[in-house]
Structure 1
């Protein structure tokens, strides 16, 4: 009871009863106070406070006097303070009795604006506040009442009668009211409207979630789906993301224009409530979903009653639409919708929608750029393979490309060379990316051009190194961080002699498997990369038996990604298997975006190659011409016999006049070609001359160039070879199309 004394005294002035209030006030337990004299006790613990000592009203021999603390201040001060708090405080105050009934509330209590206090006074708190959408936890209130431990900042949602369209967030704290004897008198609950604070924090959390979840991949459709997942249901009850047809097809986005109409297709949609249906994915969306015209910035559309069956008092839907645009380019639109009866969108929601959609548009731009670059890289990395028929006489080829779409810059080629030879090349440009693939394409073109010069593999890499340096200068990277460096292996196989010449820059994968099953994983040493120190590059020459297998592959970024020597040898050590099967085994060992060439060498049959030694005298020219004529007649080639004899005569004459012995004439028969080669040991370079009308000589190479499809010269360790290639005339030309006709003409 409020009038209970702090402690009581006997007739001798000693403490006989010590209350809980006294324990808190004097900070002394009852065991220490009982039996003490009042004057000594108040003299040491009273702190100068006024006390009242009065006879105890109840007749008791042990308790004769009651001691109470005297009120400070003028009479009625406590009541005045309490009234001022209830009438002037800015926070809501709610007094509950021990039975959790409402005793008193102040006018600013949450939900009480415009509500007579008499309508809630005396009602249980749970029942009194339920009409305002406040759901109190009665067990929580009982716990505070019993234990005396207060609870603070409990968040409750409400829809007060003064603002039923908007959900409010209330922070409630509850404390127990106790008398001096620590008996529970009831509860006091304070409430504060923290709607703005909580909504601001919710927006920050949603922006953080958007930053973490949107843009996890470089796929436009997945990015649109991530936007829906973030927005529903934390921001809206439904969301529809529509992208333009051009963006979905990987094309450049259109320019954002006010009032324009763009064809949009539903890309992702989601809803958390049946009152907010969404269109199916892939459907074409008309402007009505986004307003009369496509907006250029986030905007809240006027409420509109949904055109679907419902009760007569159906509340209009609330919709916020925003463009997915960045740097003046439009990728699509987003429509956020809240179901009927939900909270309307606010200016803060508009700002939040702008932040989310702008970030999504940036990710869409990145995804679209990646898609377009991926298309370019795929086109550059997937040049049409050269028909196998052009190289199958020299080698049986198997090709593999483990494309991963990251622009690895790896390439391979098989190129036919004069004399039935074949060139094999595998390369890789460092630093993956679109610029790397572009550099790779330029280098690939350079290799094709350099092969027409019939260069030694080592010489070809030296010239390709100069090309890489020129490309580095053109890129003009001041910090030299992205200057191209290239791994490249270039090899030439001659099916006539079985010679295999190879040069290597970098650490491209290389192995040779001989017919007996032995595997040579280091036929030539590794060297520095193209674009680094420069020539000389590691090179070697081998004479391979027919049926040998050559394996070339672009290197991995690290030794951990690439195959070990033992695993490579195990995959290749089966010479009885064909190149395609061996390529399948090795491909599984390669890192992504790497290429592979497997070539099984062949030799030209003796019936397709004819050669003879030529004496270093002019009389030998006629004999060589007649022998060549007899060989061509036996072969039955449909080439022009007069042109072939003239080419042989001029090449031999040129070797006798300007070359050095020994001289060898060689004819190589192809399916529709005849190759004439003359070897000599002189290193002087023949060159094409344009003789004047009065000159008696100087027309030999000019005649060869005129009569043949192509001609050239290549150098070896012991001299040079001058060659010319003649083709059979096609049927359309009306020339010789059968061996019989060619033989008759030659006769």
Structure 2
């Protein structure tokens, strides 16, 4: 039968039974109440009355050993001798635990004094066993976590609940220069009746395990923290924040001059040191240099190392004057894909633990992560520069458009480089085109597409097309750009929203066409707000035409608000908030733009345009009879009006242009015929309209031909000319420079 470690029974100094076990009842056939207090020796020679022991369970010899007890006199435990006696297997197990196990053992009695220790515990303490046995737990664990172990052992003795894997730190006598970490556990010793006999405490040196885990945690923190900002200087500072003081007491991060300037990193041979500048510094072990200061290569050794290396301390002119001789720095290059981004040097304080081989491996891992983040940040910086150049916030063209509208533009920058744009394009007849667009494609490709569409809008606007016709042609351009990108799936093909409006300050007419979901509101001088004067239409490059359009004749002082809707914001700004921001016609366009910017999403552009009407004294209009004789009278009327206006323009050029255009309208056009002059600060606009929709074109007449030179002459004496169409007529217009700066006949 398996034998427990507790004795068969316990007797006092007079050999009277004090404690009788269940094992004794089965072996000797007597109950505890019958034998406790009686002499023990006579029972050892009696045969059991009702027990049938198996061979080897009982013999003629008995093993007696003193055991701990609560009484004043000694107590003795009795075991049957034989193959399973304690000095056999049990003693062998105990001997192995106390002499060969790698776990330090301290056995305490109920007074928490050491009664036995094993060889490992002796080695941990670095003192002889005789100096440990008999000491209290506080003395045995002196210097370990300020009494933490004593509290744990005492709690285990009182409650019986074991305590496992509690980490304590100390500088053991055998290695006083290095902090060690011990994993301690405690278990209560008790007999079969549950009476506490003491506590056994174990200690395992887990210093290397804890240091390895600390290195892994630091590397994980570096991967989680470094690289959040996509900025090279912020990335360098993130490296400093992660490693000081967790890894080193001081750090100096130097980046190459080309990286700090946003250029491609250098790929120089190892023997050539690039120009280094200070990017971040921390700790008292480096004198803080000026930001961007040039650092000599000698700070990092004779030449930049190709891998982590320990180099002698820097010279006194770059370090504090208290460094002991022989102190070293851990220098690690910041390289990725054969390119060098900089160098980082770590220092530890005097008296701190020196760098170990595992520290070099850790520093190499952190530097590799930093170099990758620097590469990403540099790529982002370069792409952001390109996107900013392409995005090119539109230049205000107030000089060419202020007669028609008063404009305020806004851009709520978000740093995403979204392909949004707004433009004011001067058109013929003092009209102005207002454009707001947004490419629904993120990144630099979206900005490049925006630049191409913006150029296309400028070109198409010069054709004086109706707004919905212009969007139809811009849709075809978007499809062509998608085809040129090649290989893009339907989901990745570029699409765009665009609102195109044309305001005529002469008639007060506003024509609008919409593609996509850009914001559009119209505010009248009385404060009423129309949040959707024209419904939203399909995206350019998607479903395609027809695009919704509309026309309104607005009083002077009406305000048009157009804002793009970036890809990052799928929802539309609250209509109520937009109406509230715009329902103040007394505000200036600039104030309205500022209010709208608070509502729209990041990377959105805002265009606020307040309409104006051309003053009556800057406009002259005549209805010309469809007769050749009317040309002569028309020239006289124009000459008289120029004298009244006092315009500094060549009268002969004006009369020549008027004569040619009116003659063509009479000869080739249809009634009604209208002549209109528009006076501007820099130009005089002459327009002739008729009901015929045939297009005039510029001819180059032969030498012997008498006709065919009219438009050629007009083109020679004017700044520009063109033709625009409406549903009912066509208009041929010319622009003559004021002040004698234009061409002459």
CA distance in 1, matches of 2:195, 2:367: 58
1:475 matched residue in structure 2: 485
The alpha-carbon deviation at position 714 of structure 1 amounts to: 0.4
- Aligned residues of 1:614 and 1:664 also touching (Cα < 8 A): yes
CA distance in 2, matches of 1:54, 1:445: 110
Give the secondary-structure state (helix, strand or coil) at the position aligned to 1:551: strand
The alpha-carbon deviation at position 424 of structure 1 amounts to: 0.8
Distance of aligned partners of 1:679 and 1:308 in 2 relative to their CA distance in 1, 3 Å threshold: closer
The alpha-carbon deviation at position 647 of structure 1 amounts to: 1.3
Residue from 94, 100, 106 that aligns with 2:113: 100
Residue from 185, 202, 210 that aligns with 1:198: 210
- Aligned residues of 1:409 and 1:430 also touching (Cα < 8 A): yes
The alpha-carbon deviation at position 490 of structure 1 amounts to: 0.8
> Is 1:655 paired with 2:665?
yes
CA distance in 1, matches of 2:164, 2:52: 37
The alpha-carbon deviation at position 420 of structure 1 amounts to: 1.0
2:271 matched residue in structure 1: 259
More off after superposition, 659-668 vs 703-712: 659-668
Task: Normalising by structure 1, report the TM-score.
Answer: 0.84
CA distance in 2, matches of 1:599, 1:534: 27
Residue from 452, 457, 462 that aligns with 1:452: 462
Residue from 46, 50, 68 that aligns with 2:58: 50
> Is 1:34 paired with 2:33?
yes
Residues 412-440 of structure 1 show CA distances to partners (whole Å, capped at 9, x for unaligned) of 11121111111111111113322222221
Give the secondary-structure state (helix, strand or coil) at the position aligned to 2:676: strand
> Is 1:290 paired with 2:303?
no
Distance of aligned partners of 1:636 and 1:453 in 2 relative to their CA distance in 1, 3 Å threshold: same
- Aligned residues of 2:394 and 2:421 also touching (Cα < 8 A): no
The correspondence of residues 478-627 of structure 1 with structure 2, limited to 5 A, is 478-555=488-565, 562-627=572-637
1:12 matched residue in structure 2: none
Residue from 379, 392, 401 that aligns with 2:411: 401
- Aligned residues of 2:438 and 2:566 also touching (Cα < 8 A): no
Distance of aligned partners of 1:236 and 1:615 in 2 relative to their CA distance in 1, 3 Å threshold: same
- Aligned residues of 1:643 and 1:707 also touching (Cα < 8 A): yes
1:698 matched residue in structure 2: 708
Give the secondary-structure state (helix, strand or coil) at the position aligned to 1:616: coil
> Is 1:376 paired with 2:379?
no
CA distance in 2, matches of 1:446, 1:132: 78
2:83 matched residue in structure 1: 72
> Is 1:687 paired with 2:700?
no
Residue from 640, 650, 656 that aligns with 1:630: 640
More off after superposition, 643-652 vs 284-293: 284-293
More off after superposition, 637-646 vs 293-302: 293-302
> Is 1:169 paired with 2:181?
yes
Instruction: Count residues in correspondence.
Output: 713
CA distance in 1, matches of 2:255, 2:544: 51
The alpha-carbon deviation at position 718 of structure 1 amounts to: 0.4
The alpha-carbon deviation at position 532 of structure 1 amounts to: 0.9
CA distance in 2, matches of 1:156, 1:107: 17
CA distance in 2, matches of 1:584, 1:693: 62
- Aligned residues of 1:519 and 1:573 also touching (Cα < 8 A): yes
Distance of aligned partners of 1:261 and 1:42 in 2 relative to their CA distance in 1, 3 Å threshold: farther
The alpha-carbon deviation at position 529 of structure 1 amounts to: 0.9
> Is 1:223 paired with 2:231?
no
Residue from 370, 373, 376 that aligns with 1:366: 376
Distance of aligned partners of 1:612 and 1:577 in 2 relative to their CA distance in 1, 3 Å threshold: same
1:235 matched residue in structure 2: 247
The alpha-carbon deviation at position 140 of structure 1 amounts to: 3.1
- Aligned residues of 2:114 and 2:132 also touching (Cα < 8 A): no
The alpha-carbon deviation at position 265 of structure 1 amounts to: 3.6
The alpha-carbon deviation at position 559 of structure 1 amounts to: 8.3
The alpha-carbon deviation at position 405 of structure 1 amounts to: 1.8
2:262 matched residue in structure 1: 250
Give the secondary-structure state (helix, strand or coil) at the position aligned to 2:51: helix
Distance of aligned partners of 1:54 and 1:568 in 2 relative to their CA distance in 1, 3 Å threshold: closer
Residues 504-533 of structure 1 show CA distances to partners (whole Å, capped at 9, x for unaligned) of 111222222223333222222211011112
Give the secondary-structure state (helix, strand or coil) at the position aligned to 1:269: strand
More off after superposition, 279-288 vs 435-444: 279-288
- Aligned residues of 1:240 and 1:278 also touching (Cα < 8 A): no
CA distance in 1, matches of 2:214, 2:168: 15
Where structure 2 has 5 or more consecutive residues not aligned to the other structure, the ranges are 37-42, 66-75
Residue from 2, 6, 20 that aligns with 2:9: 6
CA distance in 1, matches of 2:235, 2:569: 35
CA distance in 1, matches of 2:55, 2:385: 88
Distance of aligned partners of 1:102 and 1:370 in 2 relative to their CA distance in 1, 3 Å threshold: farther
CA distance in 2, matches of 1:123, 1:17: 30
CA distance in 1, matches of 2:169, 2:325: 21
CA distance in 1, matches of 2:64, 2:585: 118
More off after superposition, 31-40 vs 219-228: 31-40
The alpha-carbon deviation at position 110 of structure 1 amounts to: 4.1
- Aligned residues of 1:133 and 1:159 also touching (Cα < 8 A): no
The alpha-carbon deviation at position 147 of structure 1 amounts to: 5.5
> Is 1:708 paired with 2:729?
no
- Aligned residues of 2:25 and 2:32 also touching (Cα < 8 A): no
Give the secondary-structure state (helix, strand or coil) at the position aligned to 2:602: coil
- Aligned residues of 1:126 and 1:136 also touching (Cα < 8 A): no
More off after superposition, 380-389 vs 587-596: 380-389
CA distance in 1, matches of 2:483, 2:265: 34
The alpha-carbon deviation at position 468 of structure 1 amounts to: 1.0
The alpha-carbon deviation at position 183 of structure 1 amounts to: 7.1
Give the secondary-structure state (helix, strand or coil) at the position aligned to 1:455: coil
Where structure 1 has 5 or more consecutive residues not aligned to the other structure, the ranges are 10-14, 58-64, 737-744
CA distance in 2, matches of 1:322, 1:163: 30
The alpha-carbon deviation at position 365 of structure 1 amounts to: 2.2
Give the secondary-structure state (helix, strand or coil) at the position aligned to 2:382: helix
Distance of aligned partners of 1:310 and 1:622 in 2 relative to their CA distance in 1, 3 Å threshold: closer
Give the secondary-structure state (helix, strand or coil) at the position aligned to 2:605: strand
- Aligned residues of 2:25 and 2:31 also touching (Cα < 8 A): no
More off after superposition, 370-379 vs 203-212: 370-379
Task: Normalising by structure 2, report the TM-score.
Answer: 0.84
Distance of aligned partners of 1:156 and 1:661 in 2 relative to their CA distance in 1, 3 Å threshold: same
More off after superposition, 418-427 vs 709-718: 418-427
Distance of aligned partners of 1:141 and 1:510 in 2 relative to their CA distance in 1, 3 Å threshold: closer
Give the secondary-structure state (helix, strand or coil) at the position aligned to 2:235: helix
